[in-house]
């Protein structure tokens, strides 16, 4: 019976299937087959033995059930796999299984295979996210809304700008992911403490051949294990990604607040918001993303603690990696799939967007008016103070900023109503927002074309 929610609730089948026990066993077997093939190529073992090992090194012959049976007796998972494969090999081929290798030659190289497949899934998911964001950039590059800093109304911006900022961040994650692939998809085949003594003078050749067969690159140097800064970097990458998802989800959640109500995550026709408050439309999908992101962030500490292993290695990384690596990948992938779904179905309330633009009765254009007053000959500091006092009066008396300015004799002699109306139009004060969004679209669309 499943216990961890990633097994039955927070997963996609595509990623979950990469981290099953069967998938891990298959990766181990692929490494054993590659090792045997390398030995045969350098003349260490008969070609026929390598072919037999390669033929039988799969789940059709070596079952998880049998490996578990053996492991229960000998308390060693890799040796259980080796014995189960040996049982299936004809002739003397079984004599050459795991020849010269230590357990973590198999485990770490198989882990690199797993990471390669999982990072490919994440990459495709990020590309889909970027595709959705760029579409939103294009559709909303001219959708003017109020900008907020410190939770307060600032000056006008556009929804296209919001989406473009997120898209640019996602684009950086693609660059980071490619760098991580280059640095972290590393395997090893170097024996008990990394000296390659068990492989003799052909150690480098064997290691290079194994990695070539598996589509990996060899580490520059290792002891008994691939050094854990590599795996910590992978976990950090996933946290970069989920932190962006966290940011986006929080913004959607906040903009869906009843008193703001500008955008909404999708809500199905029969969806229930609350078990008792039937009127509610809770942004629970966005909140779920924020919640799961917190869980993934905790795995960074564990990954960093795995780096300082003692001497040529100890086992303190092993047990926790069986948890933090699958958990981080499965939850990151789930978060991305959920975020894509939210953004694809995002709903806009244009009336509320307009209402919020006008909520402060023109005060969000105070900077624009200050700049224009300076052009009229008023000093910048004097203009700032005039607008500061005007804002206070506007709030206190419930008047529009336009009314307050017109009533101010220090200002009205410089300003005519027609130009004041132009200054107070939010669409006239978005700077290069549209051009910036178009720049982002043009630079990032190469990833998805």
Work out the average pLDDT over 41-49: 96
Judge contact between 32 and 98, C-beta under 8 A: yes
β-strands 152-158, 144-149 pairing? antiparallel
Which helix (DSSP H) or strand (DSSP E) does residue 146 occupy? Answer: strand 144-149
How distant, in Å, are the alpha carbons of 46, 77, 106, 420 from that of 195? Answer: 25, 24, 16, 79
Which helix (DSSP H) or strand (DSSP E) does residue 288 occupy? Answer: helix 284-305
Which helix (DSSP H) or strand (DSSP E) does residue 388 occupy? Answer: helix 380-397
Residues with a catalytic annotation lie at 150, 274
Work out the average pLDDT over 176-197: 96
Beta bridge partners of 153: 148
- 195-245 confidence digits (pLDDT tens): 999 999 999 999 999 999 999 999 999 999 999 999 999 999 999 999 999
What does pLDDT average to over the chain? Answer: 93
- 316-349 confidence digits (pLDDT tens): 999 999 999 999 999 999 999 999 999 999 999 9
Range of lowest pLDDT (38-42, 167-171, 212-216, 265-269): 265-269
Instruction: Kindly provide the b/e burial profile for residues 266-299, where b requires at least 16 CB atoms within 10 angstroms of the residue's own CB.
Output: ebeeeeeeeeeeeeeebbbbbebbbebbeebbeb
Decide: residue 15, CB within 10 A, 0-12 exposed, 13-18 middle, 19+ buried.
Answer: buried
- 99-154 confidence digits (pLDDT tens): 999 999 999 999 999 999 999 999 999 999 999 999 999 999 999 999 999 999 99
Separation between Cα atoms, residue 428 and residue 371, nearest integer Å: 13
Judge contact between 73 and 253, C-beta under 8 A: no
Judge contact between 335 and 128, C-beta under 8 A: no
Separation between Cα atoms, residue 210 and residue 233, nearest integer Å: 24
Domains identified in the chain and CATH numbers:
18-99 (1.10.275.10), 102-271+278-359 (1.20.200.10), 360-445 (1.10.40.30)
Q: Is 3 helix (H, G, I), strand (E, B) or coil?
A: coil
Separation between Cα atoms, residue 332 and residue 336, nearest integer Å: 6
- 340-392 confidence digits (pLDDT tens): 999 999 999 999 999 999 999 999 999 988 888 888 888 899 889 888 888 89
């Amino acid at each position: 019976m499943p216990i961890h929610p990633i097994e039955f609730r927070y997963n996609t089948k595509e990623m979950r299937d990469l981290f099953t026990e069967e998938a891990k066993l298959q990766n181990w077997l692929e490494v054993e087959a590659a090792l045997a093939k390398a030995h045969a190529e350098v003349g260490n073992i008969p070609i026929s033995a390598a072919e037999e090992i390669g033929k039988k090194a799969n789940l059709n012959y070596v079952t998880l059930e049998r490996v578990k049976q053996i492991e229960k007796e000998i308390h060693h998972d890799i040796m259980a796999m080796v014995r189960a494969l040996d049982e299936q090999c004809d002739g003397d081929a079984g004599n050459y299984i795991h020849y010269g290798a230590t357990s973590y030659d198999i485990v770490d190289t198989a882990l690199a295979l797993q990471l390669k497949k999982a990072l490919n899934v994440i990459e495709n998911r990020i590309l889909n996210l970027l595709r959705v964001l760029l579409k939103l950039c294009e559709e909303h590059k001219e959708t003017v809304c109020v900008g907020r800093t410190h939770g307060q109304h600032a000056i006008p911006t556009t929804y296209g700008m919001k989406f473009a900022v997120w898209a640019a961040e996602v684009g950086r994650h693609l660059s980071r992911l490619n760098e991580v692939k280059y640095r972290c998809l590393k395997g090893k085949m170097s024996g008990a403490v990394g000296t390659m003594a068990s492989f003799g003078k052909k150690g480098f050749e064997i290691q290079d051949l194994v990695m070539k067969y598996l589509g990996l690159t060899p580490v520059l140097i290792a002891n008994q294990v691939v050094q854990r800064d590599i795996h910590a970097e992978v976990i950090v990458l996933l946290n970069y990604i989920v932190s962006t998802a966290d940011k986006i989800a929080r913004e959607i959640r906040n903009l869906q607040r009843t008193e703001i109500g500008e955008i909404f995550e999708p809500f199905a026709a029969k969806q229930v918001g609350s078990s008792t408050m039937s009127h509610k439309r809770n942004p629970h999908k966005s909140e779920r993303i924020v919640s799961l992101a917190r869980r993934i962030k905790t795995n960074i500490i564990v990954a960093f603690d795995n780096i300082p292993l003692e001497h040529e290695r100890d086992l303190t990384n092993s047990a926790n990696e069986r948890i933090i690596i699958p958990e981080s990948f499965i939850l990151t992938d789930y978060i991305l799939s959920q975020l894509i779904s939210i953004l694809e179905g995002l709903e806009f309330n244009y009336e509320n967007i307009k209402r919020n633009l006008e909520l402060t009765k023109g005060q969000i254009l105070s900077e624009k008016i200050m700049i224009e007053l300076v052009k009229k000959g008023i000093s910048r500091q004097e203009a700032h103070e005039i607008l500061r006092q005007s804002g206070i009066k506007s709030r206190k008396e419930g008047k529009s900023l336009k009314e307050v300015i017109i009533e101010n004799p220090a200002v009205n002699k410089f300003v005519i109503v027609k130009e004041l109306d132009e200054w107070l139009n939010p669409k006239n004060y978005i700077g290069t927002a549209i051009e910036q969004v178009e720049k982002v679209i043009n630079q990032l669309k190469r990833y998805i074309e």
